[in-house]
Chain A
Amino acid sequence: MTVEPYTILYKEQLSAQVYLMRVKAPHIAQERQPGQFILLSIDQDYGERIPLTIADADLDEGSITIIFQTVGYTTKRLATLEQGDELAVLLGPLGQPTKIEKLGRVVCVGGGVGIAPLHPIAKSLKAAGNQVACILGARNKELLFMEDRFAAFADELIICTDDGSAGRKALVTAPLKELCQAAEKPQLVVAIGPPVMMKFCVETVRPYDVPVVVSLNTIMVDGTGMCGGCRVSVGGETKFVCVDGPEFDGLKVDFDGLIQRLQAYRPQERRQEEQHACRMQQQAAELEKKNV
């Protein structure tokens, strides 16, 4: 048994803040199933470990695809790595895989960077014989990506933007509601995106007695059940997203608690960014001095 370096084989900027990378990891590519995620870090000694969902895998190339938005300390730095660079840490696949079964009609809702993890799930649901309607939403056209990949298999594809720059000018909940009200209501809704979006998708679906699965992305350290930092209340019980999830019955998830916990280290993160900015400014100033 060997593990090769986690080399970045390909990098592409999908939208203003969203990047795609294919990373060498044959052992993960081989074992991964839809719904699972990895943990990565970009510095062996001082890095932070962050979870990202596996968007795709290529067995021939021995690679996995990750898609991420530059929102935090690590994702911003990850985006500066180039093809040929190596990740310091890559652990996976983690979490329970999605239960893929033939149900009939399924609606898949993806918002923002949540479109990426939705892709393998929606594709597998289609392959399992379901009729799959996909709703993809983003703030504007620039933040949308992968529409063509969804178009390739979806029975119906609805694009929404907040500003109407692409598709319908609407929140994803509007078409979701329409699909739930249709004569043939869906047997399952899968919603992946920012917690607030998932919360409102769940509330939209709740009156129609349709099961709704959500995939949660929380703060994690080890990703193997050891720290409990990812815990969330589901139906009044504390669950660990890393080992019990990442997918849960959306109707039971305490989204308000989840949203609060995601803010846990916000003050430190803000300061970290400021310090980093300060150091960058310092360096820039020093460079300027040298050049003068």
Chain B
Amino acid sequence: MSENNTAALQELARPQYEELKKLDFQLKPAQRAKIPLQEMPVQDAELRRKNTSEVALGYTPMQAVVEANRCLQCKNQPCVEGCPVRLPIRDFIKSIAVGDFAEAIRLIKVDSLLPAVCGRVCPQETQCQVKCTLAKVLKDPEQAVSIGRLERFVADWERNQGKTELPQCAPDSGKKVAVIGSGPAGITVAADCRRAGHAVTVFEAFHKFGGVMMYGIPEFRLPKAIVEAEVELLRRMGVQMLPNFLIGRSRKLQDLLDKDGYDAVFIGIGAGLPNFMGIEGENLIGVSSANEYLTRANLMRAYERGKAATPIAEAKRVAVLGGGNVAMDAARTALRLGAEEVYLIYRRSEKEMPARVEEIHHAREEGVQFHLLRNAKRVLGNEEGRVTALECLCYELGEPDASGRRSPVAVPGSEYVLPLDAVIVAIGNSSNPLIRQTTEGLEFNKWGNLVCDEDGRTSLPRVFAGGDIVLGAATVILAMGQGRKAAAAINKMLAEGGD
């Protein structure tokens, strides 16, 4: 069994907690810096690779209080600088440190609608926590205050209390806002515009709301019940949620403004079309995009065999191409669906992997085998057109490229063949062309992303955008941050009555 089970970690926290109580939570910074970092309880790797329950289990209240007391309460709050939505991190941690969880969540909710989500999936180690003074004092970035875990803790605490507060909405303004897409950006805009008193409709192409949080991020990393609770909150606020509705086809974007009486439109349609490698054999049966694989598994619930009508590739040996969070999600999902061997094939080294450190760590613990500095050259198949193997090529790192990462260079003659029965391609997305094809006057850049100003204003009057359709592939929190800015600009525009 892992050492990181809840009971064991709680026992580790107890003496620290008793000590804090003795001091009446009044500590000097040097004393705070000496409190050991509280590890997150997790499901044992051997068990969890066979189930779909959440991997990380969350702090106990005692652990949360102890961890919060590590915070030095810096005057200049560098952590807030690192947060895309500028959560009052220092202040909510201060509340947790004295056990006032209700105040902590109240402070967070002023700026973030999705703390239970962000606490789980934000890359804190490159945002708020990388700026943490404590990490600098201790000369170890991994010793930063666990801001994400604390955020998650209070969000879960509130939900488990069953008394999630309904945000206050201003009196009806008589204005209407259309939000296209119900992912993190869309949810943020819907809530912020509704709070300002506008009537809001959210259009979602899928039959369930939440965008990437529903179809993409797996249950074991983000339980769907959490996303559903957030969506339910929007409904209770009076936001109209329309599923099975594809703007561009079910209705043209311009018609929303010209015919349906909407005063503003927000486009938050996400990343769109999956990229493929462009190699031989890529259309063989058993090769799928990570989007398809994860959508079948998550949204269509293919992991519940015998119940779900949607089939999914049943593979014993799976290769995942890519090194981002989506690649980790796909690899770990494959394990849970019964794969015996899962290879993650990435053409650079682990240092260059875009995935979160925690996800890489969890994937490795669960038995995902990393083939680094390797890349797929072609997919081999049998006479039925099914995948049988992948021919790979070895790489070494050369000079840094435009992104600052050392670019991989192929080693001639280093080909080898890996027998497989499924290949999942997780090398990113291009933008979906649908809105572009069906809306005149919207300006896109050469990668197909929408061109916007700082407030999310597009080239069309009264049309705003945010999230992956603007950023390319990014994160939940960045999408939320953009949604927040766009909503503020929409609310300002509607208050002033102009465009």
The 10 closest A-B pairs by CB, nearest first: A260-B385, A227-B292, A268-B311, A48-B309, A265-B311, A228-B289, A48-B310, A89-B207, A264-B285, A91-B244
Contact A45 B301 (CB under 8 A): yes
- Collect the chain A residues with CB atoms within 8 Å of residue B433's CB: 225, 243
Chain A interface (Cβ < 8 Å from any Cβ of B)? 1-3, 27-28, 31, 36, 41, 43-49, 73-74, 88-94, 221-222, 224-229, 231-233, 238, 240, 243, 257, 260-261, 263-265, 267-269, 272, 275
Please classify how large the interface on chain B is, using the bins under 10, 10 to 19, 20 to 34, 35 or more: 35 or more
B304 located at the interface, meaning its Cβ lies under 8 Å from any Cβ of chain A in the complex: yes
Chain B nearest CB from A274 CB (Å) reads 12
Chain B nearest CB from A123 CB (Å) reads 21
Contact A221 B292 (CB under 8 A): yes
Contact A226 B272 (CB under 8 A): yes
Residue interface mask B301-337, A partner, CB < 8 A = 1:
1001011111111100000000000000000000000
Contact B242 A3 (CB under 8 A): yes
A92 vs B246: C-alpha distance when bound (angstroms): 7
A90 vs B242: C-alpha distance when bound (angstroms): 12
A-B residue pair count with CB separations less than 8 angstroms: 138
Select which of A46, A232, A261 is within 8 A of B308 by beta carbon: A46
Select which of A2, A90, A238, A263 is within 8 A of B384 by beta carbon: A263
- Collect the chain B residues with CB atoms within 8 Å of residue A27's CB: 245, 250-251
Contact A227 B291 (CB under 8 A): yes
Contact A48 B249 (CB under 8 A): no
- Collect the chain A residues with CB atoms within 8 Å of residue B309's CB: 43, 46-48, 73-74, 272
Contact B295 A92 (CB under 8 A): no
Contact A225 B272 (CB under 8 A): yes
Nearest A residue to B309 via CB reads: A48
A selection of 17 A-B contacts at a CB cut-off of 8 Å is A1-B178, A31-B251, A48-B308, A48-B310, A49-B310, A90-B244, A91-B244, A94-B246, A225-B273, A227-B291, A227-B292, A228-B289, A257-B283, A260-B384, A261-B285, A261-B385, A268-B312
- Collect the chain A residues with CB atoms within 8 Å of residue B278's CB: 238
Q: A93-B250, A268-B314 are in contact. List 15 more A-B contacts (CB 8 A).
A: A28-B250, A43-B309, A44-B207, A48-B300, A48-B308, A48-B309, A89-B207, A92-B246, A227-B291, A227-B292, A228-B273, A260-B285, A261-B285, A261-B385, A275-B306
- Collect the chain B residues with CB atoms within 8 Å of residue A49's CB: 207, 300, 310
Residue interface mask B425-439, A partner, CB < 8 A = 1:
000000011100000
- Collect the chain A residues with CB atoms within 8 Å of residue B251's CB: 1, 27, 31
Chain B nearest CB from A5 CB (Å) reads 11
B103 located at the interface, meaning its Cβ lies under 8 Å from any Cβ of chain A in the complex: no
A8 vs B288: C-alpha distance when bound (angstroms): 34
A243 vs B272: C-alpha distance when bound (angstroms): 11
Contact A41 B207 (CB under 8 A): yes
A118 vs B283: C-alpha distance when bound (angstroms): 28
- Collect the chain A residues with CB atoms within 8 Å of residue B291's CB: 226-228
- Collect the chain A residues with CB atoms within 8 Å of residue B203's CB: 1
Nearest B residue to A90 via CB reads: B244
B169 located at the interface, meaning its Cβ lies under 8 Å from any Cβ of chain A in the complex: no
- Collect the chain A residues with CB atoms within 8 Å of residue B242's CB: 1-3
Contact B288 A3 (CB under 8 A): no
Contact A221 B274 (CB under 8 A): no
Contact A243 B432 (CB under 8 A): yes
Contact A261 B283 (CB under 8 A): yes
Chain A nearest CB from B247 CB (Å) reads 10
- Collect the chain A residues with CB atoms within 8 Å of residue B273's CB: 225-226, 228, 240, 243
Given contacts A43-B309, A74-B309, A257-B385, contact A226 B250 (CB under 8 A): no
- Collect the chain B residues with CB atoms within 8 Å of residue A94's CB: 246, 249
Nearest B residue to A73 via CB reads: B309
Given contacts A91-B250, A224-B246, contact A263 B432 (CB under 8 A): no
Contact B249 A229 (CB under 8 A): no
Cβ < 8 Å to A, chain B residues 217-270: 240, 242-246, 249-251, 256, 260
B149 located at the interface, meaning its Cβ lies under 8 Å from any Cβ of chain A in the complex: no
Contact A227 B306 (CB under 8 A): no
Interface centre among B240, B274, B313 (most CB of A within 10 A): B274
Chain A nearest CB from B220 CB (Å) reads 19
- Collect the chain B residues with CB atoms within 8 Å of residue A92's CB: 246, 249-250
A41 vs B215: C-alpha distance when bound (angstroms): 16
Interface centre among A27, A88, A226 (most CB of B within 10 A): A226
Interface centre among A2, A44, A92, A222 (most CB of B within 10 A): A222
B194 located at the interface, meaning its Cβ lies under 8 Å from any Cβ of chain A in the complex: no
Select which of A1, A89, A221 is within 8 A of B244 by beta carbon: A89
